[in-house]
Amino acid sequence: MKPRRILIVGGGSAGWMTAAYLDAVLNREGMMPVDIALVESPDVPRIGVGEATIPSINHILSAIGIDELEFIKRVDGTYKQAIKYVNWLDGQGESYYHAFGRYRESPVDRSTLNWLMSDRSIPFSETISAQPVICDLNLSPKTLGHWDMGARLTYAFHMNALKFADYLAEIATSRGVTHHLDHVTDIEMADSGDIAAVKTRSGQCIEADLFVDCTGFASILIEKKLGVEWIDWSQWQLCDRALTIQVPYEHSYPGYVRPNTVATAVSAGWIWEIPLQNRRAWGYVHSSKHIDPDDAEKELRAFVGSIGDNFETRLVPFKVGYRAKAWAKNCVAIGLSAGFIEPLESTGLYLSDLAAVMLTEHFPYGGDMEPLAYRFNRIMANRFHEVLDFINLHYCLTRRTDTEFWREVQRPERIGDRLRAKLEFWRMKPPSLADFEDQLFPGQPDVPLVTGGYPGDHRSPIDTAGIFTLSSYEAILYGMDFLNAECNQWFGSKRPPPTVPQTILNRLQAAPHKLPSHEAWLQQIAGMSDYPIDPQSVP
C-alpha cells in the first residue's frame, strides 16, 4: 500500500506534537501507512514564556513513548498539582484552589452536599482533596523512593515550551519524520479545490495528501488560502494581551519551587506565576481596552518586585475564538490556527493534543475526507465551547468593583448564553454528574454550531466533561462562593463547620513525613541545581 503523505506546515509545540503523535500512533510496529514531513520557517521568531499543562499531557507523553523523568530533565519541568486563584472574588487577598485530584466517597458521594450544608469555614477544595494543603506546603506529588501513600496524586507539568518542541522534533526525526527548515513562499492548489503542494524559498515543491496548518495566527493554509472563517469570541473574553517577564534563579530563588501555578487577579486581568527548574516566569494577561502598555508594564513590574528590574518584558498579543471548520478540504488546522482561548486554565497545549488524537482517530486512509472532517469539526467545536464557558465562569462570578475591567466582566452581555443557562439552573440545584449527560438546560438557546456549510447538524454545542468535569466546575463555583445565599435559604443561616473525610486527613498527616519538598525532589531526582536563596525573593 502506498503511504499517505502528511505535510505539517509550521513547527513549535503544536507542529512537533502533531508530528510525533501521528508517527507514534499511525506508524506503530514498523508499519508505514503514512509518510510524515514538517516544514518550518527559519524566519519566524519562537516565543517561549513558560508553559503550564493539564493532566491530559500524560496521555500524549505515554503514546509517544516519552519517559516522564527524561521529559522533566529535558524541558526544565516542574510538577503542577493545581492552580491557586488569588483575589478573584473580592480582591482582598482571598484565594482558592482548582486541584487536579478529587476524593469521592462511595457508593454515594455526599461530600459536596455536606459542604454546602456547612458554614464554609474550611474552603471547599480542602474538603475534597489533600492537594491544596500539599501545595501550600510546597511538597512534591512524588516520594523519593517507593510510593506507599495509597492512590497516587494527580499532576501535570510546568515546562519550557521551546525545549519541549525541540525534544519532540528530536524524537520525531529520529523515527523517520522528514524536517524541512525552509520558508513557504506559495501554495499550489488542485482543480478540486484541495491543496496540492507548498513551494519554498529554496525551490522545493512539497506535495502531500493531507496538510496540517500549524502556522499559528498567521493561518497561511486554512485562512489565507482556503478562506475558512474565524469565529470571534472577544465579546466574552476581554483579555487580548500577555506581557511576560522571566527571571533566572541566580537572581530570584526564593528557596522553594511551588508545585502549582498561581493566578492572581489584578486591575485589568490576571498575572500567572510559573516556576521552572531554572527560573520564574510571570505573565500579565490583560485587556488592551482597559490598560495601556506603559501602565501594564508598571503593574507587572510592581508585582514582580525589584528582582525583575534588569530583565526585559515581552508583549504577546493574541485573539480569542475558533475556526468555523478546523478541517476543510484536505487541510487540518491545529494549534493557534484552529483557535485560542486565553491561558487561564492552561488549555493551549491540550487543544493541540486533542486535535492530534482526533486526527489519528479520523485519519483518512481512503480518499473521502468529508465525513471524517464532519465529525472532527463537531468534536473540536464542542470542546472549544466547553473551554469558553469554563474560562468565562472564572470572571462572571467576581464581586470586584474596584476597576472598570472587573465591573465589565460581570455585565450580562459578557456572559455567554450557554453559561448563563447553566448558572441559572444550578441556582435551583447544585451541579451534578447528570448535567454532563444531556446539555440542554432551561432557557439555553438552541443555536447550531457554525459548521461552515455542512448540512444535517442542527444541534447546539454540548459539554461532555471531556476536559472540565463536575469536579472542575465545583472547584471554581464554590471557590467563588456560589450558592451561598441559596444555601442560607435551603439550610438556614446557622450551619455547622465542614468536615474533612478521614481519608484526606490521613493523607495530610502522612504527607510532610513521606513527601519531600518539591525542590528537594527536583534536585535529587531530576538534577535541578541548588541555587542560593535570594532574600528579596522570599515573601
**pLDDT tens figures, 40-75:** 999 877 765 558 999 999 999 999 999 999 999 999
Q: What are the C-alpha distances in Å from 222 to residues 45, 128, 218, 226, 410?
A: 21, 44, 9, 5, 34
Residue 274 region by backbone torsions, left for phi larger than 0, else alpha for psi between -120 and 50, else beta:
beta
Contact present, 101 and 75 (Cβ < 8 Å)? no
| Distance separating the N- and C-terminal Cα atoms of the chain | 63
Q: Is 289 a catalytic residue?
A: no
Contact present, 251 and 534 (Cβ < 8 Å)? yes
Q: What is the DSSP string of 467-507?
A: SS-HHHHHHHHHHTTTTHHHHHHHH-S--PPP---HHHHHH
Give the residues across from 78 on adjacent strands. Answer: 158
460: cell is 447546539
Query: In this structure, what CATH number is given to the domain that contains residue 57?
Result: 3.50.50.60
Three-class secondary structure of residue 335 per DSSP = helix
- Strand order in 184-189's β-sheet? 184-189, 195-200, 205-207
Task: Report the C-alpha dihedral over residues 519, 520, 522, 524, rounded to 10 degrees.
Answer: 160
Q: How far apart are CA 443 and CA 420, in angstroms?
A: 9
Among 290, 282, 224, smallest CA distance to 258 is for 282
In a domain, 131, yes or no: no
Three-class secondary structure of residue 538 per DSSP = coil
Task: Report the C-alpha dihedral over residues 11, 14, 15, 18, rounded to 10 degrees.
Answer: 160
- Residue 460, pLDDT score: 84
Name the stretches of the chain with pLDDT < 70.
1, 30-32, 47-50, 451-455, 538-539
191: domain range?
4-76+159-231+323-380
In a domain, 458, yes or no: no
Beta carbons within 8 Å of 83's beta carbon, 6+ residues apart: 97, 98, 260, 261, 262, 263, 345, 346
DSSP 517: B
> Considering the entire predicted model, what is its pTM?
0.95
- Residue 457, pLDDT score: 74
In a domain, 118, yes or no: no
Number of domains in the chain: 1
- Residue 352, pLDDT score: 95
In a domain, 460, yes or no: no
Beta carbons within 8 Å of 532's beta carbon, 6+ residues apart: 253
In a domain, 212, yes or no: yes
Of the residues 2, 73, 80, 289, only one is catalytic, namely 80
In a domain, 58, yes or no: yes
Q: How far apart are CA 493 and CA 308, in angstroms?
A: 47
383: cell is 470542546
- Residue 48, pLDDT score: 58
- Residue 1, pLDDT score: 59
Burial class (CB in 10 A: 0-12, 13-18, 19+), 252: buried
In a domain, 168, yes or no: yes
- Residue 49, pLDDT score: 54
- Residue 313, pLDDT score: 96
- Residue 316, pLDDT score: 94
- Residue 451, pLDDT score: 63
Q: How far apart are CA 218 and CA 11, in angstroms?
A: 13
Tell me if the bond preceding 107 is cis, omega within 30° of 0: yes
In a domain, 167, yes or no: yes
**pLDDT tens figures, 442-497:** 988 888 877 655 667 778 888 887 899 999 999 999 999 999 999 999 999 899 99
